[in-house]
Amino acid sequence: MAQQNLFIGSLAYATTDDTLKAFFEQVGEVESARVITDRDSGRSKGFGFVEFKNDADNQKAIDSLDGKELDGRAISVGLARPKEDRPKRDFSNNDRGGNGSFRQRSW
């Protein structure tokens, strides 16, 4: 059975992987803790994921840490939804009959 991750929302921009892990280690042994960052700027997107070594710690973390303050912000803690398989985005504009470039003038 796959490990269940926790979704952590409303994170302060100053929160790092290490501070997130340390905060959740008060509940149990953390396998991984990751703050999601913007690919271009490297700045936190304000959410992250925590995975415990023992899945039983997930509910304990939700019960005891949801709404608690971390780095000056009240965080939300819940079970993460599985990642959906999304179709690859196509920006070629072929559905409009174009060739992917600018729209041709009609006059």
Cβ(25)–Cβ(56) below 8 Å: no
Predicted pLDDT at 94: 56
- Sorted by sequence, the CB contacts under 8 Å of residue 21 that are 6+ apart come out as 30, 32, 33, 50
Specify the pLDDT at position 52: 96
Q: What is the pTM of this model?
A: 0.77
Please tell me the predicted confidence (pLDDT) of residue 1.
46
The pLDDT, as a whole number, for residue 88 is 77
How far is Cα 17 from Cα 41, in angstroms, rounded to an integer?
17
Q: What is the DSSP string of the chain?
A: -PPPPEEEES--TT--HHHHHHHHTTTS-EEEEEEEE-TTT--EEEEEEEEESSTHHHHHHHHHHTT-EETTEE-EEEEPPPPP-PPPP--S-GGGT--SSSPPP--
More confident residue, 85 or 43: 43
Question: In this predicted structure, what is the pLDDT of residue 59?
Answer: 95
Domains of the chain in sequence order: 6-79 (3.30.70.330)
The amino acid at residue 53 is K
